Amino acid sequence: MKKIPHVTGAEQGRFGGARGGFSLVELLVVIAIIGILAAASSSALGGGMRGRGVAGAVNVASSLALSARMEAVKRVGGGVGGALLVVDSTAGTNKGALQRLVVMRNVSTNIGAKSWQMAGPPVALPQGVFFSTKYSQGTGTTNFDFSNRSGSQTGGETGCFFYEFDERGRFFTPDQVTPGAGEAQLVFVAGVLGADGSFAGTNWEASRDGILLRKAGRATYFQNADQIKQPGT
């Protein structure tokens, strides 16, 4: 996987014609808000969210992938667009190891340039569920600073997978060359993180589940674990 460099700093077609109707951005905003509110409500219930286990993690990831796609087409502050879904992929004793996800948006106003900023606070997976670096496949990897809420967060100490969307909301393939020409997967497993930071799966082969990011940026659920691509395939 390629690494993104350390960085510091159109009109949408309408479904209903010139009058009435909703833009793609407006529809994505509404859908993303519904998904995020559902995830936040479940999280606030505490035990209810944790009881959902891997299924809860899959729903969180799906909502955040949609949110990232929405951020990619918003062109915040006159930016050229684009967004990332960043996932903590570092096992260890750090807070939130293998359990944090955050959406980043490109606020650069220069075509071809990328200046990433958080689009919202990091979201935690349910207790006892972790991101699987073995089975997940993203656009690339980067280091991230989860404590920096303004400016650029790249270049931190936490290793992460990232999933990139271009200014049209299309998913960037792992070769990071052609948007909308491939797919990748986010996979989650149930397990236990020891005091030494080591990860021990608890029948994780049976519990694994996740989402598939399709060519056009859509996120779909795996119907069963057999659909998850094996490492190296």
Reading the chain (233 residues) residue by residue, the pLDDT tens digits are 455 544 444 433 433 444 456 677 676 766 767 766 655 554 433 333 333 589 999 999 999 999 999 999 987 777 889 999 999 999 887 778 899 999 999 888 888 888 888 998 999 999 889 999 988 988 888 888 887 766 555 667 889 999 999 998 988 876 666 655 568 899 999 888 777 767 666 555 667 899 998 877 788 898 887 888 877 65
Bridge partners for 137 per DSSP: 185
- Check residue 8 and give its pLDDT: 43
- Check residue 83 and give its pLDDT: 92
The answer to whether residue 63 is domain-embedded is yes
The answer to whether residue 119 is domain-embedded is yes
- Check residue 11 and give its pLDDT: 39
Range of the domain at 139: 2-227
- Check residue 67 and give its pLDDT: 94
The answer to whether residue 117 is domain-embedded is yes
- Check residue 164 and give its pLDDT: 92
- Check residue 9 and give its pLDDT: 41
- Check residue 145 and give its pLDDT: 84
The answer to whether residue 25 is domain-embedded is yes
Here the tokens at position 209 are: 């589940």
Strands (E), 107-196: 116-118, 123-124, 129-131, 140-144, 158-165, 184-193
The DSSP letter of residue 19 is: S
Report the domain count for the chain: 1
The answer to whether residue 232 is domain-embedded is no
Nearest alpha carbon to residue 164 among 152, 178, 145:
178
The answer to whether residue 233 is domain-embedded is no
> Cα Rg for the chain, rounded, in angstroms?
17
Here the tokens at position 6 are: 């350390």
- Check residue 85 and give its pLDDT: 95
Q: Are strands 83-88 and 100-106 parallel, antiparallel or unpaired?
A: antiparallel
- Check residue 188 and give its pLDDT: 93
The answer to whether residue 143 is domain-embedded is yes
The answer to whether residue 71 is domain-embedded is yes
